[in-house]
Amino acid sequence: MKIVYSDRHRSHDPQTFIHRGSLVKSPERPERADILLSSAVAAGHEAIEANRTGGLALTRVHTARYLDFLENGINEWIALPNAGPEIVPNTHPNRFASHYASHIIARAGFHQADTACPVGRGTWAAARSSVDIALNVGDLIARGQRHAYGLCRPPGHHACTEMAWGFCYLNNVAVLAESMRMSGAERVAILDIDIHHGNGTQQIFYERPDVLTVSVHADPDRFPVFFSGYADEFGSGAGEGFNVNLPLEHGSDDAAFVDAIAAGMRKVEDFGPDVLLIALGLDAYRGDPLSVFEVTTNGFRQAAETIGAFNEPIAILQEGGYPCPELGENLVAFLDAIDG
């Protein structure tokens, strides 16, 4: 399989991550991409460096003021007296806020949902390169590749229309879906199998019938992202019935994981998309530092076999999956099984 990557992800090396009140090392660090890329290449997959792409689909997914904040906000931030090297919000507008304030501290609170998505000098370049990867994968599919994989870092599925969240800044899979719709695909389906709910992707397409969003993830009542991902979220307006959440109990094993993915694939088949996009999280693995599941490497292999039976093209974009000894092995098991 062709593997699209970019070394520009290295410019994003977050130094701030607050976990349960403690400042700890972020699990979303450059090491992730190094492990995934080296493992895929060693297994015989072909690595291709991403070309830079235009931004039209990006501007249809994210607002202008949000893109400006990500690209230019760091310059205002570091000009503040005694400012740290990364934008980390210390105030958030509550549900009763009435204005979008202009101060960089206010905009940080508005555009960053949590402290897992600090913005540094190199964050914009890395996030933009992640979108480049996604769109290059789309180009491969358009040129006849049946399967292609994008090693997107930073990930994207938590990024909302104008909010960074959970390590994510730009919603790579949403931008790719939008680009494919703009290029003539009548229907696009997204299947997200990260252990965390794809809340940003859901928010972006929640009122649309042309993009089906399906997410298999851990029960969010006691697990991030907490505030969405429940089974009773179906979409609204024209999009009602085109959002599917399949939350699983904590401790779920291979059988439960694969069964839920099979149920999601039945929804995809019923929808009849021209292309299927997979938001691939490897953090359901039992040894992942963020996991609450008992999924094994073989579970990812079985999941890929279930997905790979789909008859239309499949574009795979990396989401979660954090440094552990088996991270690369899990990716290779998934990609090899997709390729059959």
Residues annotated as catalytic (active site), given as ranges = 158
For residues 251 and 223, is the Cβ–Cβ distance under 8 A? no
The greatest distance separating any two alpha carbons of the chain, rounded to the nearest whole angstrom, comes to 57
* Three-state secondary structure call for residue 130: helix
Q: How far apart are CA 264 and CA 216, in angstroms?
A: 8
Three-state DSSP at 84 gives: coil
Computed from CA positions of residues 292, 296, 302, 304, in that sequence, does the dihedral angle turn out positive or negative?
positive
Residue 223 near residue 247, CB atoms below 8 Å: no
DSSP character string of 179-229: HHHHTT-S-EEEEE-SSS--HHHHHHHTT-SSEEEEEEEE-GGGSTT-SS-
Handedness of CA 245, 40, 27, 323 (dihedral sign): positive
Q: Which position has the token pair 């999009």? A: 239
What does the radius of gyration of the chain's CA atoms come to, in whole angstroms?
A: 19
Query: Cα dist. 186→119, 137, 314 in Å?
Result: 36, 18, 15
Query: Token pair of 216, please?
Result: 């298999």
Q: Strand 22-23 vs strand 46-49: parallel, antiparallel, or unpaired?
A: unpaired
Q: Find out whether 109 and 101 touch, Cβ atoms under 8 Å.
A: no
